[in-house]
A and B are shown apart, each in its own frame.
Chain A
Amino acid sequence: MSLIFLKNIYKIYNVGGEEVRALDGVDLTIKENEYLAIMGPSGSGKSTLMNMVGCLDTPSSGDYEFEGEKVHNMDDNQLASIRNRKIGFVFQTFNLLPKATAQHNVEIPLVYANIKREKRLKMASNALASVGLDDRMHHKPNELSGGQRQRVAIARALVNNPSLILADEPTGNLDSKSGQEIMNIFDTLHQNGNTIVLVTHEDSIASHANRTIRLFDGKIIEDVAK
């Protein structure tokens, strides 16, 4: 069964009276437990596609279904809800709250899901344990290394058992050793049955995935499965 189904997606901006087609008729289907890398030069539309897949944005035209839910005509609240329940985000810059502990950072999606405190604390600890940070739960981001911060962010993405993990250049701000650790975690997550979409411009990172698509000028120009 397809997890994500994009058909004939257009995203058109008007910049200074000029029409910019960030996405120009994209069709994309992602199945459960796929490990997909989205590649492309800057301006190719890969960020727009990622925002679209991540339900941060809606298309100008076209159909988008996420597990059968029609995303393309959802309002902001519905989008927030689907992001909260079904998508885990991992950002290049980690985007942790600097004043909150690792555990509290991981709790945030659960707070918005309105889950009770005791349950939240337990789920957050479990998620942190699954990325090997059980001993760093009460540390704040500035007391953690870059790799550890990104692992906290992965724990945060995992904590609500999402259908899709969406990672935007997850190793972009890390040294190669930490980057390798992070990619190992993604590999393990994939082996455990998670669906992962990576946005990257590095071939070495994309090589972890078992399917790679390339974008150029808002169109998918290549779609290779390993």
Chain B
Amino acid sequence: MFSLFIENIKISVSSVLSNMTRSLLTALGVVIGILAVTLMGTLISGLDQSFEKSMEFLGKDVLYIRKFQWFGNKDWWEIRNRPNIQTKHSETIRNKSQYAKYVAPVAEWWTSVKKGDENVSGVRVSGTTEEFAMITIAEVDKGRFFSRAENRSGARVAIIGKDISDALFQDKNSLGERIRIGSYNFRVIGEMEKQGKFLGMFSLDNQVIIPIGAHQRLFSRRGWTGINVKVDEADLDNATEELTALMRQVRRLRPSDEDNFAINRQDPFKEQYAMIKIAIGGTGLFITILSLVVGGIGIANIMFVSVKERTKEIGTRKALGATSKMILFQFLMESVIICLFGGLIGLGLAYGGSLIINSFFPSEMPFGLALAALGLSMIVGIVSGLAPSYKAAKLNPIDALRYE
């Protein structure tokens, strides 16, 4: 039976190849279906990777006290009038909170950073305290973070991000060098490791970190402020409640007043992301199913034509001793091979597409999905080939031989 199997594959392959244009057109639906499902998989895997990285940056165990809710449904005019977060409240939180392990105020402003003739504009300048180093996931790559003493004295020292060191220093040593942040001189004491983009939107490496004292003196109260609080992951909910209470206390809110601040964490990002993922996956799946069904009908149609055209061949084969089962198998195989052929083309195109996606954010074509896609095209081949093959198998050899 095995040699018959091989022979059948050969017959089918040669039949598919000798009708190349027809096979290609027929397989188009399957090509698109497989392309859609694999590209979708690649996209999602890429988004997953980049999302996970971005979430690492936010940290599972960090609460962000901010003016705005990250994913709020409040009207903007209501929150616009909220008071800014005052960085001095970080002291209160550190002193009173049971759950806070590290507390760092953060003030941000955007300005240009210069070294000689080199200039980078739109750099995020973060002012914070030495505790920030304990909260952020990013490590200091070269040099060091500033000390408590430097923070207290408002020393003009800076830790620069990878984008800045690349632009201003290239391969040269940056440590100890002077740079101009806005119109003020700072001394570089450290470089942060490369962090990449946040959700593919902006570079986390396009920043400099300076002591908050210096930040507030030099960049006054421009930009936005907030307080980052690191807690134990298990205490997130309790800590959120406690921080809310503390903030209400320092802001002297009456019980009837609404919160005029927000305690943010990464969870809502995850919820939003899950929804985006469902949307992408759903669209991809819809396109896939639609094109596979349409493609399958096309294949069934072309197989009916093929059976009709080759009625005499079927009669001859039966006269020479082919059983109905063997004829069924031959045509089924042909249909499967057209589909596999379409599946392989789809995978090839998807691979090309994944390289394009990869140039936007790191992603890879999931191998398991590629295999599943080929399996799926085989199933389409079997399902759509079944009726035509059955028709071929059931042909009466005498009638088939007489067919002109």
List chain A positions with a Cβ less than 8 A from chain B: 51, 54, 56-57, 76-77, 80-81, 83-85, 89, 91, 93, 95, 97, 99-100, 108-109, 111-117, 156
Query: Contact between A95 and B312 (Cβ–Cβ < 8 Å)?
Result: yes
Chain B residue at smallest Cβ distance from A109: B320
Alpha-carbon separation in the docked complex, A81 to B398 (Å): 16
Taking the closest CB of chain A, its distance from the CB of B13, in whole angstroms, is: 12
Name the segment of B275-283, B294-302, B321-329, B374-382 touching the other chain: B321-329
Alpha-carbon separation in the docked complex, A85 to B323 (Å): 13
B249 at the A/B interface (Cβ < 8 Å)? no
Name the segment of B1-9, B197-205, B224-232 touching the other chain: B1-9
Alpha-carbon separation in the docked complex, A56 to B315 (Å): 10
Given the interface pairs A51-B398, A80-B322, the reply to whether A95 lies near B18 with Cβ below 8 Å is no
Query: Contact between A83 and B320 (Cβ–Cβ < 8 Å)?
Result: yes
Q: For B1, what are the chain A residues with a Cβ–Cβ distance below 8 Å?
A: 114
Which residue of the partner chain, among B3, B321, B397, contacts A85 with CB atoms under 8 Å? B321
Alpha-carbon separation in the docked complex, A59 to B4 (Å): 31
Apart from A93-B312, A100-B14, what are 16 other A-B pairs with CB-CB below 8 Å?
A56-B397, A77-B323, A80-B321, A80-B322, A83-B321, A85-B321, A91-B316, A108-B320, A109-B321, A111-B4, A112-B4, A112-B320, A112-B323, A114-B1, A114-B3, A156-B320
Chain B residue at smallest Cβ distance from A119: B3
B178 at the A/B interface (Cβ < 8 Å)? no
Taking the closest CB of chain A, its distance from the CB of B50, in whole angstroms, is: 51
Query: Contact between B319 and A113 (Cβ–Cβ < 8 Å)?
Result: no
B317 at the A/B interface (Cβ < 8 Å)? yes
Query: Contact between A76 and B324 (Cβ–Cβ < 8 Å)?
Result: yes
Alpha-carbon separation in the docked complex, A19 to B18 (Å): 45
Query: Sorted from nearest, which 10 A-B pairs have the closest CB atoms?
Result: A84-B321, A112-B321, A95-B316, A80-B323, A109-B320, A111-B7, A89-B319, A77-B323, A83-B321, A56-B397
Q: For B369, what are the chain A residues with a Cβ–Cβ distance below 8 Å?
A: none
Query: Contact between B3 and A117 (Cβ–Cβ < 8 Å)?
Result: yes
Taking the closest CB of chain B, its distance from the CB of A3, in whole angstroms, is: 18
Alpha-carbon separation in the docked complex, A156 to B319 (Å): 12
B150 at the A/B interface (Cβ < 8 Å)? no
Which residue of the partner chain, among A56, A99, A115, A117, contacts B18 with CB atoms under 8 Å? A99
Alpha-carbon separation in the docked complex, A97 to B4 (Å): 17
Alpha-carbon separation in the docked complex, A117 to B4 (Å): 10
Chain A residue at smallest Cβ distance from B400: A56
What is the predominant secondary structure among interface residues of chain B facing chain A? helix
Query: Contact between A111 and B319 (Cβ–Cβ < 8 Å)?
Result: no
Query: Contact between A76 and B323 (Cβ–Cβ < 8 Å)?
Result: yes
B318 at the A/B interface (Cβ < 8 Å)? yes
Alpha-carbon separation in the docked complex, A216 to B401 (Å): 23
B242 at the A/B interface (Cβ < 8 Å)? no
What are 5 A-B interface contacts by the 8 Å CB criterion?
A56-B398, A57-B398, A84-B320, A93-B312, A117-B3
B61 at the A/B interface (Cβ < 8 Å)? no
Which residue of the partner chain, among B3, B312, B319, B326, contacts A56 with CB atoms under 8 Å? B319
Number of B residues, CB within 8 Å of A: 24
Taking the closest CB of chain A, its distance from the CB of B146, in whole angstroms, is: 78
Taking the closest CB of chain B, its distance from the CB of A106, in whole angstroms, is: 10
Taking the closest CB of chain B, its distance from the CB of A185, in whole angstroms, is: 19
Query: Contact between A83 and B319 (Cβ–Cβ < 8 Å)?
Result: yes
Taking the closest CB of chain A, its distance from the CB of B351, in whole angstroms, is: 32
Chain B residue at smallest Cβ distance from A57: B398
Alpha-carbon separation in the docked complex, A115 to B313 (Å): 21
Which residue of the partner chain, among B4, B15, B18, B318, contacts A80 with CB atoms under 8 Å? B318
Q: For B14, what are the chain A residues with a Cβ–Cβ distance below 8 Å?
A: 99-100
Alpha-carbon separation in the docked complex, A92 to B318 (Å): 17
- Contacts of B56-115 to chain A: CB distance below 8 A: none
Alpha-carbon separation in the docked complex, A81 to B322 (Å): 8
Which residue of the partner chain, among B15, B317, B398, B401, contacts A91 with CB atoms under 8 Å? B401
Query: Contact between A116 and B3 (Cβ–Cβ < 8 Å)?
Result: yes
Chain B, residues 7-25, CB within 8 Å of chain A (1/0): the string is 1000000110010000000
Q: For B313, what are the chain A residues with a Cβ–Cβ distance below 8 Å?
A: 95, 97
Q: For B324, what are the chain A residues with a Cβ–Cβ distance below 8 Å?
A: 76-77, 80
Alpha-carbon separation in the docked complex, A207 to B326 (Å): 39
Which residue of the partner chain, among B4, B312, B317, B401, contacts A114 with CB atoms under 8 Å? B4
Alpha-carbon separation in the docked complex, A101 to B320 (Å): 17
Q: For B15, what are the chain A residues with a Cβ–Cβ distance below 8 Å?
A: 99
Alpha-carbon separation in the docked complex, A95 to B313 (Å): 7
Chain A residue at smallest Cβ distance from B15: A99
Query: Contact between A54 and B319 (Cβ–Cβ < 8 Å)?
Result: yes
Taking the closest CB of chain B, its distance from the CB of A120, in whole angstroms, is: 8
Q: For B3, what are the chain A residues with a Cβ–Cβ distance below 8 Å?
A: 111, 114-117
Q: For A113, what are the chain B residues with a Cβ–Cβ distance below 8 Å?
A: 321
Query: Contact between A89 and B323 (Cβ–Cβ < 8 Å)?
Result: no
Query: Contact between B320 and A89 (Cβ–Cβ < 8 Å)?
Result: yes
Query: Contact between B319 and A112 (Cβ–Cβ < 8 Å)?
Result: no
Alpha-carbon separation in the docked complex, A81 to B326 (Å): 12
Alpha-carbon separation in the docked complex, A156 to B322 (Å): 14
Query: Contact between A95 and B321 (Cβ–Cβ < 8 Å)?
Result: no
Alpha-carbon separation in the docked complex, A100 to B324 (Å): 22
Taking the closest CB of chain A, its distance from the CB of B328, in whole angstroms, is: 12
Q: For B323, what are the chain A residues with a Cβ–Cβ distance below 8 Å?
A: 76-77, 80-81, 112
Chain A residue at smallest Cβ distance from B18: A99
Taking the closest CB of chain A, its distance from the CB of B352, in whole angstroms, is: 32
Query: Contact between B316 and A112 (Cβ–Cβ < 8 Å)?
Result: no
Alpha-carbon separation in the docked complex, A218 to B313 (Å): 29
